[in-house]
Structure 1
Amino acid sequence: MTLSPAPIAPAPAPLLIRGARPYGEDVQDVLVEDGLISAVGTDLPNPGDVEEIEGDGCILLPGLVDLHTHLREPGGEEAETVETGTRAAARGGFTAVHAMANTNPVADTAGVVEQVLRRGEDAAWCAVHPIGAVTVGLAGERLAELESMASSKARVRVFSDDGKCVHDPVLMRRALEYVKTFDGVIAQHAQDPRLTEGAQMHEGRVSAELGLTGWPSVAEESIIARDVLLAEHVGSRLHVCHLSTAGSVEIVRWAKLRGVDVTAEVTPHHLLLTDEEARGYDALYKVNPPLRTQADVEAVRAGLADGTIDIVATDHAPHPQDAKDREWDTAAFGMTGLETALSIVQSTMVDTGAMSWRDVARVLSEKPSLIARDDSQGRPIREGEVANLLLWDPRPRRRVDTAEHASRSHNSPFAGTELPGANRLTLLAARPTVREGRIVERESAAGAAGEC
């Protein structure tokens, strides 16, 4: 099953990327013509009148794919729109995002998911694939129109009530059985609602010292344990959203050893930040699931490195300033993440030696596409493939300035943090969407690119 990328017009000009390192390996030249990678090799000849882009010292990756993005449209345009969210995605090196269903109205019908699809096609900064709700209105009471969303133009294959847990085990079983008929997947927000009533942050020493209601690890782990058993029983696919605890890693590892068809994701912020950040009561660090302990951070890093955790997904959750600029207990949960994701993965996993750049391609491009059954993205860097590409320079270091971000919201916990790496070029079906970290507007898309 192929999900078509957003239509691009006019035809992009040919490009020759010189001396980059695909997947961080051997230096190669890559020629891009007519929307495709037309040649890969050393010392490729310039066929004439082709713009050359210097890639010396840069890593060439397949365009990144985010399986967990909140674009907020329809209904939440004060925080984000498909236009602003996909511009942010392009700046982060993404050529495809999967938009979560907790919009207003909820994406629980074919009409709403097709509306999101059309907005993505109109924006054309990256491919936008709607995620359908599991239950009507995310209420957890009855199944949404799964089949109609799957057979619609949007061809939905990922379903999630993210933001809320499908906590009823009978309903979860039925959802798993239903999506199995068209090779869909349920992406579960693992949070037992009874164990997290009024919860504000991770339950532990820091929450006790701060006097904030704790969010126990078992609230996540118990749902994952239940659901992997249900998936095994039904023989269906399960995806665990934003896994955050050491215990969750062990449960997923155990399930995979049993042959359960389960995949899992970790967010960039759970790879780096801990519950210690809450000590300043800055609601930028308030997120669902909450930031955990250093031991949990180390466990999810190890799980990502050894393949227990399959992918990195941003859980990009924009909020207007007044939803965050308030007391901790009344502030919204969530962080932006599209524009800093790869820098954090580089810092926590590549620069530490835990993963290679080829591993990065796997967890941020290839495997997300496979989970979503989207064979238009995450493709190998080879002749004949669509040129969805990212040219990434791992050498610069910069301080995060949210005023420069393309997202409509600025609730990044990394504001002011020094992070590695810079986006030199993002190509969507061979069309530059970003050059030197800046969005390429339509009329200037053929302008000269800077050097690495």
Structure 2
Amino acid sequence: MSRILISNGRLIDPASGLDEIGDVAIADGRIVRLGGQIEDFTPDRRIDASGQWVIPGLIDLSARLREPGATRKADITSESRAAAAAGITSLVMPPDTTPVMDTPSVVELVSHRADITGAARVVPLGALTRELAGGQLSGMAGLAAAGCPALSDGGRPITDSLVLRRALEYASTFSLPCLLTPVDPCLAQGCLNEGPTATRLGLPGIPAAAETAGLGRQLAVAGASRARVHFGRLSSADGARLLTTALGENRRLTADVAIHQLFLTDQDAMEYDTRFHLDPPLRDIIDREALRQAVADRVIRIICSDHQPHDQDAKDGPFASTAPGASGLDTLLALVLRLVEEEVLPLHRALATVTLEPARLLGLEGGRIDEGAAADLVVVDPVAPWFCTEESLRSRGRNSPFLGWEFSARATHTLVAGRLVHQPDPP
């Protein structure tokens, strides 16, 4: 494994608060020296990071890679390479693949495919129940042994509360966090937020009550268990308020929000643009501002891309008949840094939401810059303007709701366990 010296970069570590100009020496996949000018280290390769930032590699808590089962949309190779180019070193993959990741053999298949690609690492989540059907519990011990650091309902909530409680209690015996989707499927029969925009467009709406009804039930069950429970992709002000109250009684709870919910609203779909058909749906500006405040207050501690790449056919057609979801890998880092520009979050806190906090939730090594830590690092040019276009996206999914936006930062080099997996294209 090569020895690498990153020199003269602004080292920013959300774990320790480090913020200084210095060098990083990497050997055997780990950071061996840090800070100042490192002169007694002989590298095989030097990366001059003058005028650039060196930050921990991003950990995306929700990224669907479409393999196995839907490789016409994307696959592990295409999306892990796109992630590396976007400064993401770990992709956390929900278990709703085909077949479902409810057995060690499927988990091992995914891990093997990611290993041979040699780009961003893939972290598979095991299914809480067999085939995500919400009936029988999965073989959690086997999934943990196969490399799953947590279990998930894969976006398909367990509607039987007794099964949910048993799943949470069983998972807690293996110290596995459980990632749940806060929604009542019976109320979520629509394609846009229930409100004036949906009414004006003549589209069936999804009320915020769909989220709070599901979240309230799951909070009650979580309170009766010893499990660490994480709620994925909150979308409403009511949901954020409900979680705030629950945190006062149960500190084992955590939550995340998809980055697009912090910038977009249902009004962006006014032209029936299917790129804004998302699940959970975009809500109104009051919800967006409440979610931003919840992130600022650390009620919501993690931001994810909720990456869901689609082929063109899935997004062509009447709004309600198209597939929900957005492609989010390429824009995650730039949007997190825009939250800093808009003074929603300070820099270290913003970076923590996509590095330190997801690493803590899943017990992963990454998320920090420290001597002895795994060398999952990104060199970022903070003043490298670029436009989000279909041509600039590395993901095979072109269904980004941010097409046409201009951003002011991007990754130049990405290292995973000391391996350089992304660097600038040769001139």
Aligned residue in 1 for 2:46: 52
**8 Å contact kept, 1:336–1:411:** yes
Offset of 1:49 from its aligned partner? Answer: 5.8
1:389-443 per-position Cα deviation (integer Å, ceiling 9, x unaligned): 011122222110222322222111111111221111111112111113x5xxxxx
Amino acid at match of 1:145: G
The answer to whether residue 127 in structure 2 is matched with residue 136 in structure 1 is no
1:218-276 per-residue CA deviation (whole Å, 9 max, x = no partner) reads 11112112212211211211111111111111111111111341110011111111000
2:30 is equivalent to residue 36 of structure 1: yes
Helix, strand or coil for the counterpart of 1:404?
Answer: coil
Q: One-letter code of the match for 1:394?
A: P
Q: Give the aligned partner of residue 248 of structure 1.
A: 239
Q: Which amino acid aligns with 1:79?
A: K
Structure 1 residues 369 and 81, CA, compared in 2 at 3 Å: closer, same or farther? same
Match of 2:192 among 190, 201, 205: 201
Q: CA deviation at 1:59?
A: 2.1
Residues 168-212 of structure 1: per-residue CA shift (max 9 Å, x gap): 211211111110001112211122111122x11100111111111
Change (3 A) 1:49 1:260: closer
| Alignment match of 2:273 (pick from 263, 277, 282) | 282
Per-residue deviation, 1:19: 3.2
* Residues 14-93 of structure 1: pairs in structure 2 closer than 5 A: 14-23=4-13, 25-45=19-39, 47-48=41-42, 51-93=45-87
1:2-40 C-alpha deviation (Å, 9 max, x unpaired): xxxxxxxxx124223223232482222222233222222
Residue among 351, 357, 363 paired with 1:361: 351
Residue number among 276, 279, 282 corresponding to 1:291 in the alignment: 282
Residue 207 of structure 2 corresponds to 216
Q: Using a 3 Å threshold, how does the CA distance of structure 1 residues 140 and 417 change in structure 2: closer, same or farther?
A: same
- Equivalent residue for 1:124? 118
2:372 is equivalent to residue 384 of structure 1: yes
Question: What secondary structure, in the 3-state scheme, does the structure 2 residue paired with 1:183 have?
Answer: coil
Distance 1:377 1:194 in 2: 38
Name the amino acid aligned to 1:361. Answer: L
Conserved? CA contact 1:65–1:368, under 8 Å: yes
Q: In structure 1, the residue corresponding to 2:65 is in which secondary structure?
A: coil
Q: Deviations over 1:300-319 (max 9, x none)?
A: 11111111001011110011
Query: d(CA) in 1 for partners of 2:280 and 2:81?
Result: 26
Matching residue within 104, 126, 129 for 2:98: 104
Distance 1:317 1:189 in 2: 16
Contact 2:234 2:240 in 1 (8 A): yes
Report the AA paired with residue 390 of structure 2: T
CA contact 1:18–1:53 (8 Å) conserved in 2: no
1:125 counterpart SS class: coil
Query: Which ranges in structure 1 are unaligned for 5 or more consecutive residues?
Result: 1-10, 439-447
Match of 1:333 in 2: 324
Return the TM-score normalized by structure 2: 0.95
Query: Counterpart amino acid of 1:366?
Result: L
Partner SS for 2:100: coil
Which residue in the other structure is 2:180 paired with?
188
Shift of 1:364: 0.6
Identity of aligned residues (%): 33
- Within the alignment, does 1:164 sit opposite 2:164 as a pair? no
- Which amino acid in structure 1 is aligned with residue 4 of structure 2? P
> What CA distance in whole angstroms lies between the structure 1 residues aligned with 2:347 and 2:31?
20
**C-alpha distance in structure 2 between counterparts of 1:387 and 1:230, whole Å:** 39
How far 1:140 sits from its partner (Å)?
Answer: 2.1
2:262 is matched with 271
Q: Which amino acid aligns with 1:342?
A: L
The amino acid across from 1:94 in the alignment is: I
Match of 2:226 in 1: 235
> Any gaps of 5 or more consecutive residues in structure 2?
none
Query: Do the aligned partners of 1:243 and 1:266 also contact (CA within 8 Å) in 2?
Result: yes
Letter in 2 for 1:52: R
* 1:426 matched to 2:414: yes
Name the CA distance, whole Å, in 2 between partners of 1:134 and 1:45: 50
Contact 1:176 1:234 in 2 (8 A): yes
1:408 to 363, 371, 396: 396
Letter in 2 for 1:54: D
Specify the alignment match of 1:373 in structure 2: 363
1:256 maps to amino acid = L
The whole-number CA distance in structure 2 between the counterparts of 1:110 and 1:385 is 28
User: Taking structure 1 as reference, are residues 49 and 314 closer, same or farther at Cα in structure 2, changes over 3 Å only?
Assistant: closer
Name the SS for the 1:137 alignment partner: helix
- Alignment-mate amino acid for residue 314 of structure 1: S
> Partners in 1 of 2:41 and 2:181 — Cα distance?
51
Partner Cα distance (2:347, 2:379) in 1:
12
SS at match of 2:153: coil
- Do 1:232 and 1:260's aligned partners in 2 also have CA atoms closer than 8 Å? no
Secondary structure of 1:27's partner?
A: strand
Q: Which of 340, 349, 366 matches 1:350? A: 340
